[in-house]
């Protein structure tokens, strides 16, 4: 088993799609990400990855002046395959 930890800044992209007033389109907001997990080797290059990640960011207003965005977060449990060269 190989534990890991990741942390750093990023950019979160939103697509507002369509609204009654027209197309809202894309917006972006900076985010801060941190998480960790474990890689369990299956073979020389393939591992089973289990992890948990937190993303902290400010909501976008999607071009709506009546919406007041605030800070929020997303928590993501993850299970999948990882490949190492």
Structure tokens at 57: 């960011």
Residues 6+ apart with CB under 8 A from 70: 58, 59
Whether residue 62 has pLDDT greater than 70: no
Between CA 20 and CA 39 the distance in angstroms is 46
Question: pLDDT tens digit string along 11-50?
Answer: 988 877 777 777 777 878 899 999 999 999 999 999 999 9
Q: What is the pTM of this model?
A: 0.67
């Amino acid at each position: 088993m190989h534990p890991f930890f990741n942390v750093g800044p990023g950019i979160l992209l939103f697509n507002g799609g369509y609204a009654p007033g027209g197309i809202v389109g894309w917006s972006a907001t900076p985010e801060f990400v941190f998480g960790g997990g474990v890689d369990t080797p299956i073979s020389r290059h393939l591992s089973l990855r289990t992890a948990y990640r937190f993303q902290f960011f400010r909501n976008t207003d999607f071009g709506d002046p009546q919406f007041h965005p605030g800070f929020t977060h997303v928590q993501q449990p993850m299970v999948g395959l990882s490949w190492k060269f």
